[in-house]
Amino acid sequence: MKQLVFSTGNDSKYQTAQAVCTEYAIKLEQNTLEIDEIQGEDPEKIVTDKVNKAYDLLKKPVIVSDDTWVIPGLNGFPGSYMKSMNHWFQPQDFINLTLSLTDRRIFLVGYLAYKDEKLTKLFYQKREGILLEEPRGKHEPASHKVISMVGDNGLSIAEVYDKGLARSERDVAKIWHEFAEWFRELK
């Protein structure tokens, strides 16, 4: 069985990754490193810096993830700042910010970055969703209550988590399947 460290403090992301990696005979170990993440508008630069710092601290193969949220009606805002917004905003704040938009699409661009002593490799997945006009579900963070992703039958992200749907079968897991297939073949 191949082994790999996933550096994340997000238990939900780890559980999804672990569910997928187990299917591919990859033993995933969670490590919650304190990494000072750069801020900016280039998500590939952010995730690459993050994986480089994680590798420098661990000195062994590692994978990290990072998400960017793009609202076309807000000129791409909030981008990589969604995590910060979730610290400041309640669901109603997101609704107040977006209620007047005619274009209610939102895109989640998920990134995975792998690094070992020889190689750095990026994976990404773009998913489309829609901004809801009222909060639904209990699962945090706040943005999960006001976004419904295509393929989730109109449920908010929070409602999907509330229902406990199989982690390895969710659309968000597709990037992990792509990574796991690649990693399984890596020599």
> Across all residues in the chain, what is the average pLDDT?
93
Residue 141 in tokens: 């963070």
Contact 30, 58 (CB under 8 A): no
Helix, strand, coil percentages (3-state) for the chain, rounded to 5, are: 40, 25, 35
Q: What pLDDT was estimated at residue 36?
A: 87
Please give the span between the terminal C-alpha atoms of the chain, in angstroms, as a whole number: 13
> pLDDT tens, 157-176?
999 989 887 555 677 789 99
Residue 12: per-residue pLDDT: 85
CA dihedral for 86, 88, 90, 96, sign (positive or negative): negative
Please tell me the predicted confidence (pLDDT) of residue 166.
59
Looking at residue 167, its pLDDT comes to 58
Residue 171 is predicted with a pLDDT of 78
Cα dist. 49→43, 54, 68, 164 in Å? 10, 9, 15, 33
Q: What amino acid is encoded at 55 in this protein? A: Y
User: Topology of domain 2-185, per CATH?
Assistant: Maf protein (3.90.950)
pLDDT of residue 169: 62
Q: Which residues of the chain have pLDDT under 70?
A: 166-169
Give how far the C-alpha of residue 152 lies from the chain's centroid of Cα atoms, to the nearest Å: 16
Domain map of the chain by residue range? Answer: 2-185
